[in-house]
Structure 1
Amino acid sequence: MADALLLVRARELWVELAGTPAEFSSSGGAKVVVAPSSRLAPPSWTGVVRIGDAALVTAPTVRTAGMVADAARKMSPEELADIARLRAVLPVLDVLGPASLFYLGRDGFLPVHEGTAVEQLPIGDGDGGPAALLARSGKEEADESGLEDISSPAFCLRRGDEVVAAAGYRSWPRSVAHLSVLVAPHCRGRRLARAVASAAVAHALDAGLLPQWRARLRPSQRVAVALGFQELGTQLSVRLGDAPLDRGR
């Protein structure tokens, strides 16, 4: 069962990121608002965030909000993050996600106590450091990890002189620490992600922050669960066309 305090804090974060007066419905269901400056999705996109049994949807225009609200009345919050269901009822042009959202309180943390020598390094550390790991991993995987954007130190593991795994977090509003993890492709499957992520999570908790883990891929989700994170919701961004689907075709 989801921790009630974690639900409240997670919802407070996404309400602030909506960029307009909004709230998750206390009775469940979806709330759709017009929010052109929303940070739930890229500019001009529609953002969907479900936390628990309620969803918050931000739309860039009144017209788009109306289309989404009409569709949302016939769908559960879980279905709003289902790409196939959305394509059946809305003019979806492009999609980012969905990604699962995980959160962790101090009491639920399952730290790694293995004898791994995790180092703290600045993200821009020179040859063989976190920056080199990002470069070796390629743009797509580096972007997926979000490691380049962390505001914390990077928590790293080396093999020889090279950093082969790194984790850290970026400070988000509402005292949230958004986790990022990256492991060199040739070193995956050795629980290195769990070790460096554990160090980053411990650092965030000691700073009084709420760790957030956003994961699209199963291996990343498994690491979150192994550390004690609870899956509380889903995030999805969609770019919609201007005209509703023609049901007469």
Structure 2
Amino acid sequence: MFSSTVMDHWLPAAAGDLAEGEGVVVVDPELPENRSVSVLQVEDGPTVVCLSPGRAAHLGHAHGEHIAADEATERITAAGIALNDPDHLFYLPVEEHASVLAETADGHTRRLTEEDVDAFAALAAAAPENDLDEAFVELDHWLVFGNFVEGRLAAAASMFPWRGTRLADLGVITLPEYRGRGLARATVLAMAAEALDRGYEPQYRCQLDNAPSVALALASGFRRFGEWTVIDD
């Protein structure tokens, strides 16, 4: 369903035969402290617990160890390790790639450049602060797209390569008065098409309780890959 770029990044070979409710431990010496503990629950699939060597020793885990999914999270909690609120992980199924690439952007949606700094600044000034923080859309990101209404930047989306991989993490924001018009969807799809054309896999993350963002992901053709939680640093 999902591309090898997605599957190879998230699922170790040891997870290949595991079913829902079963888990595997991955010990990675390259994990930074702010990702020294993470838990991925794949939709209708296994759980992958990624740990730094120090965290693995603390929790009593070994690389490649198979463990029940609920036991893994119980050990983390019992050790006093706090986790952030989980994120949905959404990706475009392989069968959606062609339709995204074939979709023609309307005349109001285009890539943003440094010449759009004033338009972007106006959007940032008008947007609710919490929305800006959660969306993490920046004009200097790897790819940035926007949708204009009567000359005003009403929606913007940006993405950047995810930790040296071919996954491209995206964020999107629409000014409140322009919501419900499909502007965010048009912007996300135009940017996703550009990322796919460059050989990157668009990655859409959002909090579990962010219903509008979940709806936008699904409307844009993304499907849920799993639920990802990292240590609260």
TM-score where L is the length of structure 2:
0.75
Residue 171 of structure 2 corresponds to: 180
Q: In the alignment, is residue 189 of structure 1 matched against residue 189 of structure 2?
A: no
Q: 1:114, CA displacement in angstroms?
A: 7.5
CA distance in 2: counterparts of 1:36 and 1:136, whole angstroms: 43
Distance 1:198 1:239, change over 3 A: closer
Residue 119 of structure 1 corresponds to: 110
CA distance in 2: counterparts of 1:123 and 1:191, whole angstroms: 25
- Size of the alignment, in residue pairs? 218
Q: How does 1:76-115 map to 2 (within 5 A)?
A: 86=74, 89-92=77-80, 94-105=82-93, 107-109=95-97, 110-111=99-100, 115=106
CA distance in 1: counterparts of 2:5 and 2:69, whole angstroms: 25
Report if the CA contact (8 A) 1:101-1:212 is conserved.
yes
Give the secondary-structure state (helix, strand or coil) at the position aligned to 2:17: coil
Percent identity over the alignment?
27
Residue identity matched to 2:108? A
Q: 1:161, CA displacement in angstroms?
A: 3.7
CA distance in 2: counterparts of 1:192 and 1:157, whole angstroms: 6
Deviations 1:205-231, CA, capped at 9 Å, x for gaps:
222222221122221121121122121
Residue 33 of structure 1 corresponds to: 26
Q: In the alignment, is residue 155 of structure 1 matched against residue 145 of structure 2?
A: yes
Q: In the alignment, is residue 12 of structure 1 matched against residue 11 of structure 2?
A: no
Distance 1:115 1:9, change over 3 A: closer
Q: 1:116, CA displacement in angstroms?
A: 5.1
Residue 206 of structure 2 corresponds to: 215
Residue identity matched to 1:157? N
Residue identity matched to 2:84? L
Structure 2 gaps, min length 5: none
Residue identity matched to 1:230? R
Give the secondary-structure state (helix, strand or coil) at the position aligned to 2:48: strand
Q: 1:236, CA displacement in angstroms?
A: 0.5
Q: How does 1:118-137 map to 2 (within 5 A)?
A: 118-122=109-113, 125-129=116-120, 131-137=121-127
Q: 1:200, CA displacement in angstroms?
A: 0.5
Residue identity matched to 1:170? F
Residue 224 of structure 1 corresponds to: 217
Report if the CA contact (8 A) 1:150-1:180 is conserved.
no
Give the secondary-structure state (helix, strand or coil) at the position aligned to 1:97: coil
CA distance in 2: counterparts of 1:143 and 1:176, whole angstroms: 21
CA distance in 2: counterparts of 1:59 and 1:65, whole angstroms: 9
Report if the CA contact (8 A) 1:120-1:156 is conserved.
yes
Q: 1:26, CA displacement in angstroms?
A: 1.1
Distance 1:230 1:139, change over 3 A: same
Single out whichever of 170-179 and 230-239 deviates more from structure 2: 170-179
Give the secondary-structure state (helix, strand or coil) at the position aligned to 1:95: coil
For the aligned residue pairs, the C-alpha RMSD in angstroms reads 3.3
CA distance in 1: counterparts of 2:62 and 2:122, whole angstroms: 43
List, as ranges, runs of 4+ consecutive aligned residues in structure 1 with deviation greater than 4 Å: 85-89, 109-116
